[in-house]
Structure formats: C-alpha cells, structure tokens
Amino acid sequence: MPEQFDIGIVGLGVMGRNFALNIGDHGFSVIGYDRNISKLQDLRLAAGERKVLAVESIEQLVGMLKVPRSVMMLVPAGPPVDAIIQEVLPFLEPGDMFIDGGNSHFTDTNTRAQHLIKKGIYLLGVGISGGEHGARFGPSLMPGGDKEAYERVRPIFEAVAAKVDGEPCVRYLGSGSAGHYVKMVHNGIEYGIMQLISETYDLMKRGLGLTNDELHSVYDQWNQGEINSYLIEITSRIFTRADDKTGKRLIDLILDEARQKGTGKWASQDAMELQVPIPTIDSAVSARDLSAYKAEREEANRKLSGPEAALKEDRDTFLKQLRNAFYSAMIITYTQGMALLTRASREYHYNLVLEDIAAIWRGGCIIRAALLERIRTVYQENADLPNLLLSELGEEVAQRQDDLRGVVESAARAGIPAPAFMASLAYFDGYRSAWLPANLIQAQRDYFGAHTYERVDIKGVFHTQWEQG
C-alpha cells in the first residue's frame, strides 16, 4: 500500500508551496498538485527532508490521501475554485472534504457547500491572512464550515498557524461561510487602515514637507507605542527602500494608482446590504477607485485650483496630533468591522465569537496590532457589546477627539484629501449624537411620497397633507 498523506494541496503557487512547506515543518505529510509542471519542481526542490511530495495528477493525489480525505485548494478566487472542484470531485467519496483557502466571496462558499454536501462532501471555507511569509511561517487562519469536518484538520491548522503567547492564531469560527466572511471583513479593515496611513503620509509629505528618512522615523516611533502594528511597521520600512535600477527611493517611483482584488469592496457591499455603517472602510474603497482616475485627476489639477497643500501648523505639535488622530481612527475602523461582524453573525447564523476573532487577528495577519489585545479583552468582558465605542476604547477616542478634529480641520483647510479621517470623525460624532437630523428626512419622505413618519410624543404611524395648512 502506498504511503498515505495527511492532506493534499491543489495549487502550488507561492501560497500553496509555502503552506505545504509550513505543514511539512510541523511533521505532517502533504501531497501537492499543480497543472504547471515547473511548480511541482519548485516544491520538490524545496521539500528537503519533509514529508512533502508533488505529483502530476489529481488522481494520484487523491489516491494517496488518508481517508476521509482532505483536499485544500490554494488558487485565486472565482472560476478556478469551481474548476478544481469539478476536477477532483469524481475521485472523492462521501465523508471527504474540500478546504478552500482562497479569498472566495462568502456567497460562493455557501453555494458550493450546499451543492457538495448533497454528495456527502464537506467544504471548509478558510480565510488565510499573512501573505507569502505568513503562509510559510505562520498565518492567521479563519476556518468556517462543518465543525466535525474541521476537527479533522484542526491539529494541522493549530500547528502551522502563527502563535501569540503560545496560542495558535486559529479558531473554528462558525458554520457555512463564516470563515470567508470574517476574512472579507479583515480585508475591509485592512483597506481602512491602509487608507488612513496613506492620508498621514500625504499630510506629512505634502503638508509638512517631511523627507522619506523623516517619514521612516516617524512611523518607526509610532510603531513603538499603542499603534504598534504590522501595517505601520512595513510602512516605516518602505521609506528607506532604494530602487535597484536607479538608486532613488522606490516609493517615489511607484505610480499613484491603487489596485484591488475586490475583498474591501465586498465588505462595503455587504455592509450596505445589512445596513451597517462602515464609512471609513467605504471611503478607503472609494479612495482607491479615485486614485485610478489618474488622467482625469491630472486634467482637473490644471483646471481646479485650491489651497497650496501646505500646513501652517507647528510641525511637532501637528505630528503629535496626527499620531493621536490615527490611533482614534484606527479604533473607529476596527469598531466598524466588528459591528459588521456582529450584524452578519445574526443575519447569517454564524454564531461568531468576537473575542475569538480578535484573538486570532493578534498574530500572523495583515491587520495584526497591539490594539487587538485590548479589543479581545473588551469582548471577553462583554461578549454582547453592540459597538466598541461603548467600551473603554470609545472613551479613549473621546479623550483624543480634539486631535482628530484638528487633523480633519487642517486637512480641509490645506486642501489635502483625508476621506478616511473625515469619515471616521463623522462616524464618531454621528454615533454619539442622541439626536440626528433624520426627522427632516422623514418629513421630506412623507411630504413627497406619503411614506409616513413616527412621532416623539405619540405612538403610531402618521401622515400629513403637507401642502394643506
């Protein structure tokens, strides 16, 4: 009988190869397949003493897996996932399972799981964060799907995941597409924080005239304190990197048009669907979209004048203000993501445990940050908290609000776009307003469309003939 392997991986690109090697490092056996022969060769060369094998057909891969079988797909989201399912399915038996480790849209995961379970095959949708390095040395893993099916791969996942204080950054999150949903929201937060950082860059570069070396040291200092996070850390490093071709700083040679694969947009789309406000994340998606209109922006720049984009403020005072404003907006961004998860958990019956999600985001993933330990503690103490701003974190934003207001004001006055800061402040002010001007919207709706309104003083639904009287 040929050797039996613990898990199969289909798709041996950078993520697949690194994940296979990571599994091999922890003493599990893994068998990989890719249509592209050179990728098989890459894995074979890297495998060393590990129980890692690459084979040339799906049939071979399935035939060498322990039963019940676990076949993990690490391919781009969309049609490639369906293509692999079609290819592998004829060789599987009831009880076997697929694991989709890509950024699949959660509704696709639901559709696929419902289709597969009719044949007795399970599908785990697993969000994986941490890029190439994470896949190789410890990602954050966000698994969802059938709980018992997950138990089969749990030892592997716990071994390969990043560790924080000895705890693996993986927990079973919930049924169906819970894992992919949580990963989508992770990416929404990722977009929000990246946009906020890029706004701080703009304010410091154009507003204060900081050099790349100065930017490096500001972000490096920021990373030592309460905003310590992976994204701030890599940002600080980016400013010192020289271009191999010209010797100039690489950052200044990169075209200012942001691309996107869609996960941030999906988070915004579903938040709209569920009517959960996540304006910081929405503004981050829009800012990437706007950046892509480079030619139009250049034309508009010639036609539309504005302030000079220079800040009048004292440099050191403004830098302190900016750091505090960033910390506040960072809390607000996580708040919006968590609020979306809270609502989605009810709507889609995921039964998410927010404390677990904060815990597994503390290491391995792109949005890992010191703040997540605080968020985790908040949910540990109150699992049903509807919004993080109602916790001590909200009080911290309140204490720093003058700085957030100051940054928004300075940006507006200098004509430097700061949509994510502005959206964050407006969210904070909207959320803490016991009264909002929505009564006027109700009156207008009733005026032109007889949509009715409720009153503050009498129960019931009312309509007024606005033109009479």
> Which of the ranges 4-12, 21-29, 257-265, 321-329 carries the binding residues for ligand 6PG, by CB under 6 A?
257-265
Q: Which residue is nearest to ligand 6PG (CB)?
A: 129
CA-to-CA distance for 179 and 125, rounded, in angstroms?
6
User: Which one of the listed residues 51, 118, 151, 190 is annotated catalytic?
Assistant: 190
* Helix %, strand %, coil % of the chain (to 5): 55, 10, 35
- Of 334 and 431, nearer to ligand 6PG (C-beta) is 334
Alpha helices in 203-314 (DSSP H): 212-222, 230-238, 263-274, 279-291, 294-303
Radius of gyration of the chain (CA): 25
CB count within 10 Å of CB 87 equals 15
Smallest distance from ligand 6PG to CB 165, Å: 21
Smallest distance from ligand 6PG to CB 112, Å: 19
- Of 81 and 218, nearer to ligand 6PG (C-beta) is 81
Smallest distance from ligand 6PG to CB 138, Å: 12
Of these, 111, 217, 228, 260, which contacts ligand 6PG (CB under 6 A)?
260
Of these, 23, 65, 322, 365, which contacts ligand 6PG (CB under 6 A)?
365
Interface map 405-434 toward ligand 6PG (x if CB under 6 A): ------------------------------
Of these, 366, 372, 397, 418, which contacts ligand 6PG (CB under 6 A)?
366
> Which of the ranges 21-29, 45-53, 256-264, 418-426 carries the binding residues for ligand 6PG, by CB under 6 A?
256-264
- Of 266 and 427, nearer to ligand 6PG (C-beta) is 266
CA-to-CA distance for 351 and 188, rounded, in angstroms?
20
- Of 133 and 248, nearer to ligand 6PG (C-beta) is 133
- For residue 41, how far is the Cα from the chain centroid? 33
Written as six digits, the tokens of 107 are: 């509704």
Residues 173-192 that bind ligand 6PG (CB under 6 A): 187, 190
Question: Collapsing DSSP states into helix, strand and coil, what is residue 154?
Answer: helix
Are 187 and 131 within 8 A, CB to CB? no
| Residue 202 neighbours by CB under 8 Å, 6+ apart | 416, 417, 418
- Under rule CB under 6 A, how many of the chain's residues touch ligand 6PG? 12
- Of 80 and 131, nearer to ligand 6PG (C-beta) is 131
Smallest distance from ligand 6PG to CB 127, Å: 8
> Which of the ranges 57-65, 211-219, 259-267, 431-439 carries the binding residues for ligand 6PG, by CB under 6 A?
259-267
Smallest distance from ligand 6PG to CB 77, Å: 9
CA-to-CA distance for 231 and 127, rounded, in angstroms?
19
Are 445 and 462 within 8 A, CB to CB? no
- In 3D space, the residue among 174, 11, 180, 175 whose CA is nearest the CA of residue 108 turns out to be 180
Cis bond upstream, residue 277 (ω within 30) = no
Of these, 22, 29, 70, 103, which contacts ligand 6PG (CB under 6 A)?
103
Per-residue buried b or exposed e for 396-424, using 16+ beta carbons within 10 Å of the residue's own CB: bbeebbebbbbbbebbeebebbbbbbbbb
Are 68 and 96 within 8 A, CB to CB? yes
Smallest distance from ligand 6PG to CB 263, Å: 5
Phi, psi of 5 (to 5 degrees): -100, 150
The one-letter amino acid code at 21 reads L
Smallest distance from ligand 6PG to CB 467, Å: 50
Of these, 263, 268, 324, 333, which contacts ligand 6PG (CB under 6 A)?
263
Residue 190 falls in the annotated catalytic set? yes
CA-to-CA distance for 365 and 234, rounded, in angstroms?
13
User: Which one of the listed residues 87, 119, 158, 183 is annotated catalytic?
Assistant: 183
- Of 280 and 324, nearer to ligand 6PG (C-beta) is 280
- In 3D space, the residue among 38, 49, 48, 31 whose CA is nearest the CA of residue 14 turns out to be 38
Between the alpha carbon of residue 353 and those of residues 9, 174, 266, 359, the distances in Å are 29, 9, 22, 10
- Of 125 and 264, nearer to ligand 6PG (C-beta) is 264
Interface map 214-253 toward ligand 6PG (x if CB under 6 A): ----------------------------------------
> Which of the ranges 30-38, 260-268, 349-357, 441-449 carries the binding residues for ligand 6PG, by CB under 6 A?
260-268
- In 3D space, the residue among 301, 297, 284 whose CA is nearest the CA of residue 337 turns out to be 284
Residues 124-153 that bind ligand 6PG (CB under 6 A): 129-131
Residues 22-81 that bind ligand 6PG (CB under 6 A): none
Smallest distance from ligand 6PG to CB 183, Å: 7
Smallest distance from ligand 6PG to CB 233, Å: 15
Which residues are tagged catalytic? 183, 190
Binding site for ligand 6PG (CB under 6 A): 103, 129-131, 187, 190, 260-261, 263-264, 365-366
